[in-house]
Structure 1
Amino acid sequence: MSPKFRRSVMGALAAVALLPSLAAPLAPAMAAEAAPKKEFEFVTLGDFTVNLPGTNRRMSYVVVSVTLETKAEQTQQFRDLSPRLKQAVLRRLMAMSERQELRPGRLDPALLRDSLYDSLAQVQEDGLKDVVITRLILS
């Protein structure tokens, strides 16, 4: 193998090795252009556990997992307000517990969702599309 041929092969291999590192800065921009823009995004508030008043000595409780569907351009506002949003959910669940609206047989998931939406809209209504209850456990 001639030295000239060896240099050209080594140069070609070096160029191929550098291509991914040269294209890497362009990849996120190209991916962002190719990906369709989301109109709505989800913000998870987490699980809320509330004790239910009982007539006997047995403890009972409800666990509710809440996720918000928000306009994509306002998702960060909801993330920034998440402590206040969580407080609003917990207050509403505790009030519903005191009124015994969270009892098995009396719990209406649609009413729960609407009630939580109303409470959350008082904190941040603009951009809030829906409240999704992802888990509901009564014990």
Structure 2
Amino acid sequence: MKGFPEHDVLLNRDDLQSISQRCVNLSRTGFWPESVSLRILSGYLGENETNWRQYDASLLLAQQKSDLPILVDQGDADQFLTEQLKPDVLQAASAASGSALELRIQPGYDHSYYFIASFIEDHLRFHARYLNQEA
């Protein structure tokens, strides 16, 4: 059970049995406006955008199938949805690799605490289904 620190989950998943995320922020390369997000990425990972690819969950998922079940909840009223979050990119990557992604777009929800609080129980139940299963 783990929420996404994306590259950690997708590259080091031997000890995991399920993955979930809310307010998905998984596409690191090529989709961010030149703004605060770009400054944050370059501050952590350097100016070379090629280096960012190893932290881009959408690219990692497109390149290698995940055998782990993945649940993602995203609010359709999230102000970051179309410019930064782009769950459709993750969905396309999952389809390309044949990974099991359940992407739920939640009507009327934004990027707030109330969104997370509304669906956290679903995520806990999702992980509970897979805990202690034989690999």
If the TM-score is normalised by the length of the shorter chain, which range does it land in?
under 0.3
Normalising by the residue count of structure 2, what TM-score does the alignment of the two structures yield?
A: 0.23
Normalising by the residue count of structure 1, what TM-score does the alignment of the two structures yield?
A: 0.22
Higher strand share: 1
